[in-house]
Amino acid sequence: MSDPAVAARSAPAESSDVMIRLRNVTKNYRLSGDPAAGLKNMLLRLPRYIRAARTRKPFCALKDVSLEVKKGECLGIIGPNGSGKSTTLGLMAGVLRPSSGAIETHGRIAPLLELGAGFHLELTGVENILLNGVLLGLTREEVRERMDEIIAFSGLGDFVHRPVRVYSSGMVARLGFSVAVHLDPDILLIDEVLAVGDQAFQQKCVAKMGEFLLGGTTMVLVSHNMDAVQVICSRVAFLEAGHLIDIGKPDAIISEYAEHLKS
């Protein structure tokens, strides 16, 4: 039997300008027991562990969230840590499945959920560019055609020919962002990219996102940087403890969030 949430991901959009749609999406995680207890201890107390597993309540990371993101807009997602922001991006990217509800996405997605997470430490920057470009949907030839642009954007210089294991976290972030933004995505999902790298790199990220918006790319940005959200985003969603509290114009939602933090 097909998964309705997965089926909806490839279904025709009801409105041609809607690129992402979440319908009553809930995501639960079942919390594991104490890993320090060990397998032997678990076997000796098996009945107790079985009873605990049956009664253990799942953690609800996202609860009955519905929203749409239209073509060419940038939706910001804000909220305190643990509010469900990264879970929302993971669901949009397809790396997570909803516990209930349905998700639709339309077009090529470039997820920047954790910059450099897929890099192989023993491979050079150039080798990782080729590997990640192919994993994210390009052919080897397409990656090679864009190789010079990716390297130039990263600003890594000769380091691009060295193993990634000698890179700083900022250098890994540069390389990850550079690969993703040269995929010509229809949808760009960005999780806290503005919190890594030096100031010059962050400014380059903001400028590149501005280019994407002018070109009609749809973006979803998770960030604690309210100044960047104000500048880049056309709408903002405020999440709290997995609930969608409000969604609207940046000024109003950022002010509402600021008041929430004071309370």
Q: Which of 146, 137, 200, 203 is nearest to 178 (CA)?
A: 146
Q: What is the tally of structural domains in the chain?
A: 1
Beta strand 235-240 pairing with 243-248: antiparallel
* Six token digits for residue 225: 């940087």
Q: Is residue 168 part of a domain?
A: no
Angle 199-214/169-180 helices, nearest 10 degrees? 10
Q: What is the pLDDT of residue 51?
A: 65
Whether 132 is covered by a domain: the verdict is no
Residue 162 lies in a domain: no
The enclosing domain of 38 has a CATH number of 3.40.50.300
Q: Has residue 157 been placed in a domain? A: no
Task: Tell me, yes or no, whether 199 lies in a domain.
Answer: yes
- pTM reported for the whole predicted model: 0.77
Identify whether the C-beta of residue 13 lies closer than 8 Å to the C-beta of residue 21: yes
Output the pLDDT for position 195. Answer: 60
Cα separation, 73 vs 70, whole angstroms: 6
- Asked whether residue 103 is domain-assigned, the answer is yes
Strands (E) located in 14-148: 18-29, 59-70, 74-78, 100-105, 109-112
Does the residue 158 lie in any domain?
A: no
In DSSP notation, 216-250 reads T-EEEEE-S-HHHHHHH-SEEEEEETTEEEEEE-H
Give pLDDT, residue 10: 37
> What is the rounded CA–CA span in Å between residue 104 and residue 23?
9
Residue numbers of the domain that contains 241: 4-107+186-262
pLDDT per residue, tens digit, the chain (263 aa), is: 334 333 333 344 445 699 999 999 999 987 655 444 455 455 556 666 566 656 567 789 999 999 999 999 999 999 999 999 999 999 999 989 999 999 999 998 888 776 666 789 999 999 999 988 888 778 899 999 999 999 999 889 999 999 999 998 788 888 888 888 888 889 999 887 666 566 777 788 788 888 888 889 999 999 888 988 998 899 999 999 999 999 999 999 999 999 999 87
Question: Is there a domain that residue 96 lies in?
Answer: yes
By three-state DSSP, how is residue 122 classified?
Answer: coil
